[in-house]
Structure 1
C-alpha cells in the first residue's frame, strides 16, 4: 500500500525559553546546519548560543504565535488535511526537528498498512540544511527500523510548472491594488561553503553571476541557482520588468560568509534608492513561520519604515492555497500511477 509523508522544518512546543532551548539544540546540532566538527559545534551551540538565544527566540515566537499553536505546525496540518481530502491513500505529517518526528510519521503510515512511501520535503529548493538533512535522516530510519518499507523522496520542485504557477498567482493576488516600487524575493540564506559542498561536479560552482546561469548538472543540488531560477520564472510569468524586482538572502547566523546580498541591508537601503513602496515574498518556505512572520513581517517592515520607506507589504507563503495543494496532489498522483 502507498502513502505520503509531508515533512517540514518543525517548531518549539511553545514560545517559551524552556521549550525553545531543546528545539534549537536539536536544530543547530545537526551537522548539515552547522557543518563543523562535532566538538566545535557543541562548543558553539551548547557553550555559547544556547546560553543566550533561547530567551531572545522565545520573545520572537511570542510575537507570531497563534491561539491554535505554532503557525508552521498549524499551517502544515491544514496542508496535510487538504491533501488527504483529495487523494485516496494515507497522508502523514512530520517535522525534521521537534514533533511529530519523521520516525513517528513513518510509524503512523506503517500502522495503516503502508509499505511504499513518497516523502515530500516541503522546501522548493534543495539545500544541505533542509532537503538533504531530511533525506539522510529518513533513509537512516528506514534502514534501522523499517527495512520492509520502500522510501522515495520528491526532488526539489523549484522549477516545476505547478509550483511556479501557484507562486506566481499568489504573488499576483496579494499585489492587487498595491502600486509597489519593487518586489523583493527573500530566500533563507546559507553559508557559501554549503553551495560548494553540494556541487557534485566539484568545480562548477563559483558563486558568481555566471555559474548559476550556465547549464550544469551541478544545478540539481545548487541552492543559489534554484533560488534565482525560481525568481526568474516567476517574474517572467508575471511580466515584471527588469529593475522592479531582485533577490536576497535572510537569516544570517555567525561570522561565516553567507549568500549575498543580505535581506536586512537590502531592505534598509531601498528607501535611499527611491524605493518607498516595497513588497516582499519568501519563496524558500511554503508555510509561514518565524522567518516570514517575525523576521520579514515585523522586523524588516519596521526597519524599512524607519529608514524612510512608506509602505511595506509581506506576501504570505503558499500555506494552504488551493493551487499549491493541487500542485502537491498532481505530483502525488504522478508518483502513485508510475
Structure 2
C-alpha cells in the first residue's frame, strides 16, 4: 500500500470580507459538534440570529490580522506542510475542516498520487468534540462516500507526549528570554461544559468539580479539560515554574450556557487588578496563530491588561512552523510509514 499524510487544521474564510466570513461562520457554526443542539434550533440560532449580526464584527477582526499572503492560519499551515514534506518520503497534503480547502480535496489530492493508506493528522494537541472528533467523523463519511478503498488511520491527541512537551516548553522559554514576567497564563480555547460530559466514555467520571481531572480515569483519553490542565502541569514542571507564577484559563465562549472556566478575559483583568505588572500568555490549544491568538489575545487581551494597570503583556507565538515542531511531526510521520 502507498502511504500518505493529511494534515488538517480548523480553516479560515477566503477573505476578511463580510460575505466570505458569513459563509465560513455558517459552515462552522452549523456543525453539530460545534453547536450541539437539535438541527432546527441550531439553524434558528445560527441563521436567524448569529449570521445576521456576527459576520460584520468578525470581518473587522479578521482585517486586523490578515496578512498580504492571506489568512495567517492558512499561510502558517502551508509553511508547516512544505517543511514537513521536505523531511518525509510520503506525500503530505493539507486540508481544513471548514472553508474552501476541504478534507475531500485533501484526500483526493493524495488518492491522485496513488495513495491508498492515509494518516489523518488533526493539528490539535488535545481531543475535543469541536476539533478532533468532527475531523475524524467528516473524514470517515467522505471515505465511505467517495473513497471506499482508502484506509484511514488517525493520530490521537498528543498533549502529553514527552517530546511534544519539550518542544512547547522550549518554545515558551526561548520567547521569554530577557523578558521579565511575574505570571504566565496558559489560555486554551473554551468549550461548553456539556461537551466534557458528552465525551466522558465512562458516563460517570467527569463532574468538572476541581478534582475529577486529577483523578486517574479512562475518561481522560477524551477529556479536553483534563488534557489542557495536563499540558499546563507538564510544561510548568519542565520550566520549573513555582506555584502562583502560572495559571490556566479558557477563551472564546459563545452563548449563555456554562463554558469551561476561568475565562481568559476575566483572568487577565483579575491579574492586572491584583498588581501583576508584567505577564506572558501562551495558547497551547492552537498549533498555528489565528484570529483567536492574534486578535483576541494579542490585541484585546493586551488592551484589557493595560486598562487595569498592567505594563508589559508578552504574547508567545504558537509553534507554527517552528523547526523543532516540524522535526517532531516529521519524526512521528516517519515512524508511522516505516512500521
TM over 0.5: yes
2:183 is matched with: 182
SS at match of 1:270: helix
Write out the 4+ residue segments of structure 1 that deviate beyond 3 Å after TM superposition: none
SS of residue matched to 1:86:
coil
The alignment status of 1:261 with 2:255, answered yes or no, reads: no
Alpha-carbon offset, residue 99 of structure 1: 2.1
CA RMSD in angstroms comes to 0.6
For 1:103 and 1:43, locate their aligned partners in 2 and report how far apart those are by CA, in whole Å. Answer: 28
CA distance in 2, matches of 1:196, 1:227: 15
Note the alpha carbon deviations across 1:41-69, whole angstroms, 9 max, x for none.
Answer: 00000000000100000000000000000
CA distance in 1, matches of 2:185, 2:57: 27
1:63 is matched with: 64
Number of positions where the alignment pairs a residue of Structure 1 with one of Structure 2? 338
The C-alpha deviation readout for 1:272-309, integer Å capped at 9, x for no partner, is: 21211010000000000000000000000011001110
| Aligned partners of 1:162 and 1:324 also within 8 Å | no
Separation (CA, whole Å) in 2 of partners of 1:231 and 1:155: 19
Deviation at 1:271, TM superposition (A): 1.5
Partner of 1:154: 155
Tell me by how many angstroms 1:74 deviates: 0.0
Q: Which residue of 1 aligns with 2:14?
A: 13
Q: Equivalent residue for 2:321? A: 320
Gaps of 5+ in 1: none
What TM-score do you get using the length of structure 1 for normalisation? 0.99
Q: 1:334 Cα shift?
A: 1.9
Q: Who is 2:106 aligned against?
A: 105
Q: Distance in 2 between matches of 1:83 and 1:230?
A: 24
Find the counterpart in structure 2 of residue 141 from structure 1. Answer: 142
Is 1:301 aligned to 2:318, yes or no?
no
The 3-state SS of whatever aligns with 2:4 is: strand
Tell me, in whole angstroms, the C-alpha distance in 2 between the residues paired with 1:36 and 1:247. Answer: 28
Aligned to 1:42: 43
Counterparts of 1:119 and 1:82 in 2: how far apart (Å)? 18
Q: Is contact 1:8–1:94 with CA below 8 Å preserved after alignment?
A: yes
Hey, what does 2:130 align to over in structure 1? 129
TM-score for the superposition, normalised by structure 2 = 0.99
